[in-house]
Amino acid sequence: MRKNRKGQIHNEFRLLVLDDDEMITLALRAYFEGCGYTVDIESNPLRAIEKIRLDHYDILLLDFLMNPICGDKVVEEIRKFNTDLFIILLTGHKDLAPPVKTIRELDIQGYYEKSDKFDQLELLVESCVKSIRQMQTIRRYRDGLNEILNDVTTLYQDQNPQQLVAAIVGQVRSLCQEDDVFVMLNPQNIPAFSEKVSLVSSLLLSGSGDYELDAAQFMRLYYPHFLDAIQRIKSSRQPDLCEQRLALPLHDESGHFLGMIGIHFRQAPADTLIQLLTLYSRQAGSAIARMILHTVLQSRNDQLKETNKQLKASYMETITAVRLMVEAKDIYTRGHSDRVSYYTTLLAKKRIPDPQRLERIRLAGLFHDVGKIGVPDSILTKLGPLSEEEYAQIRRHSELGCQILSAMSFFQEIAGIIRSHHERWDGKGYPDGLAGPQIPLESRMIAVADAFDAMTSFRAYRQSLSLDQARAELIRNKGTQFDPELVDDFIEILNDYDQIHAQLEWTFHEL
């Protein structure tokens, strides 16, 4: 018995069946509605294209031979404005079906030969559903990381406890779309608030949301089920979910229990959301620890330095997660940032002896494309040429990456490097049109390494270049796109390319 068989609750997925044979469309609608799907039917290809343009569908079941246009032309038109739709091609004439190359180029997910039984077609649809759910999970995680990046910078501003707790509650509510959220601070580790703790409760308690209550009274009267959770999260330092109530620990870098975030969900939260909230709670714990050190322990400079180190580590964790999400959008760019960082560091060592500056260059190479988190997937993975509007969105990634990293003082020195890594030696680059020595040296180095790795890596829209071809392209663009002296340095480095490539493979294997 398949998952969506008749009699079970309908799922959230919508299908459109396009076939000029009315008997087939009716039969498919009846079958898949019985499997729990919402199904629309259409016999005219042109009307179907407009339906998809104006409404949302997850999967298209598409006949190949139709009038006035065939299925491949339908897909070609749809892909001009919708790259997310999953498409399964139906045909009763195997010999007249388009070649496999065309099916791949049009990003058609499945192929089905018509028969009087639909079991095999149902399997294809279920495979599409699994892929759609996976992509939805990735996008929810990516969007959640984006929201955390936008929010956590405000936590690091100098605030009193009431302001900080209010900010945390508001951000958690936004992240999980729940009102029933509170934060409790532990008075044992916050001497300035030994008699009362600052609480910001949910709308369950009051419309105002701001309170100064005795912690024991609050827990006894309103959230008795969190009492046991406190003991568990203090020792485990892990989130605790019980009966749709999630307790998130707030610890400092030394493991001192600072308090908790409590959330009462209307329905059980997804694992992805719990992961995001756990990541956020680490940021919130670091911010609270920083607040405590600034407001209560200002004289303890060593601890303040350790807290700032923890903040940097926490922010690095978030930025690294965003970087990996950017590369996860496109299988062909995975490992690109690591390689660019490696090549740039090799190039920098020929001119820069300062270890601290070399470390900044290494980080700039790692995060040079972090701004692509704000570029739609449909543009990053598009197989054909980009429109002017799409190319303009791609060009914004260097500015966006600069904005993301500028939010934290730790990364302000590399933010400008990332902003300028697409400037050109002849002044025709972006975003500022800098030329020659106006471009930061580190940015010029990344530009050479970035171009070399892009040329020698396979992409969906082209084959990779050989080492000799890539070397020739770098030389050809000396003095126009690239700093000519840096190109000469990089060409010299490439004389040991086999050894460099082996070292890269060993490093990635160890990771």
Domain ranges of the chain: 14-134, 156-313, 330-510
Is the pTM here over 0.75, yes or no? no
What CATH number belongs to 14-134? 3.40.50.2300
Indicate if the pLDDT at residue 238 is higher than 70. yes
Predicted pLDDT of residue 304 = 61
Average pLDDT score, the chain: 79
Q: Identify the residue with better confidence: 241 or 253.
A: 241
Q: Identify the residue with better confidence: 435 or 239.
A: 435
For residue 478, the 8-state DSSP code is: B
Percent of the chain with pLDDT over 70: 74
Interval 114-127: pLDDT, tens:
877 888 889 989 98
| 131-135, 138-142, 280-284: which is most confident | 280-284
**Token pair recorded at residue 309:** 């180190």
Predicted pLDDT of residue 489 = 95
56-60, 142-146, 192-196, 210-214: lowest mean pLDDT where?
A: 192-196
Interval 348-405: pLDDT, tens:
999 999 999 998 999 899 889 888 888 887 877 777 788 888 889 889 999 988 988 8
Predicted pLDDT of residue 302 = 60
Q: Identify the residue with better confidence: 323 or 247.
A: 247
Q: Identify the residue with better confidence: 214 or 163.
A: 163
Residue the block writes with tokens 């990053």: 380
Interval 9-54: pLDDT, tens:
567 899 999 998 889 999 999 999 999 999 999 999 999 999 999 9
Indicate if the pLDDT at residue 218 is higher than 70. no
Predicted pLDDT of residue 315 = 66
- Nearest alpha carbon to residue 256 among 197, 186, 200: 186
Predicted pLDDT of residue 298 = 53
Confidence band for 193, pLDDT divided at 50, 70 and 90: very low
Predicted pLDDT of residue 93 = 67
Query: What's domain 156-313's superfamily in CATH?
Result: GAF domain (3.30.450.40)
Mean pLDDT of 225-243: 79
Q: Identify the residue with better confidence: 195 or 469.
A: 469
- Nearest alpha carbon to residue 274 among 245, 314, 250, 254: 245
**Strands across the sheet containing 14-18:** 38-42, 14-18, 59-63, 86-91, 110-113
Confidence band for 207, pLDDT divided at 50, 70 and 90: very low
Predicted pLDDT of residue 413 = 87
Confidence band for 192, pLDDT divided at 50, 70 and 90: very low
Predicted pLDDT of residue 57 = 94
Orientation angle between helical segments 397-406 and 412-419, nearest 10 degrees:
180
- Using DSSP's 3-state secondary structure scheme, residue 411 falls into helix
- Which DSSP string do the residues of 112-146 spell out, in sequence order? EE--S--HHHHHHHHHHHHHHHHHHHHHHHHHHHH
For residue 192, the 8-state DSSP code is: G
Sorted by sequence, the CB contacts under 8 Å of residue 4 that are 6+ apart come out as 11, 35, 36, 37, 126
Mean pLDDT of 121-147: 78
What CA–CA distance (Å, rounded) separates 393 from 399?
Answer: 11
| 100-109, 185-194, 348-357, 364-373: which is most confident | 348-357
> Residue 289, Cα to own-chain centre: how many angstroms?
28
- Using DSSP's 3-state secondary structure scheme, residue 86 falls into strand
Q: Identify the residue with better confidence: 103 or 484.
A: 484
Q: Does domain 330-510 correspond to CATH entry 3.40.50.2000? A: no
Predicted pLDDT of residue 443 = 97
Q: Identify the residue with better confidence: 389 or 189.
A: 389
Predicted pLDDT of residue 168 = 86
Q: Identify the residue with better confidence: 409 or 51.
A: 51
Question: ∠ CA 57-393-473 to the nearest 5 degrees?
Answer: 115
Q: Identify the residue with better confidence: 205 or 222.
A: 222
Asked whether this chain's domains 156-313 and 330-510 adopt the same fold, the reply is no
- Nearest alpha carbon to residue 348 among 440, 427, 264: 440
Percent of the chain with pLDDT over 90: 28
Predicted pLDDT of residue 223 = 54
Interval 274-320: pLDDT, tens:
888 888 888 888 888 877 776 655 545 566 667 677 777 776 676 66
**Strands across the sheet containing 181-185:** 210-213, 197-200, 181-185, 257-264, 245-251, 240-242
Query: Cα(first)–Cα(last) distance of the chain, in Å?
Result: 42
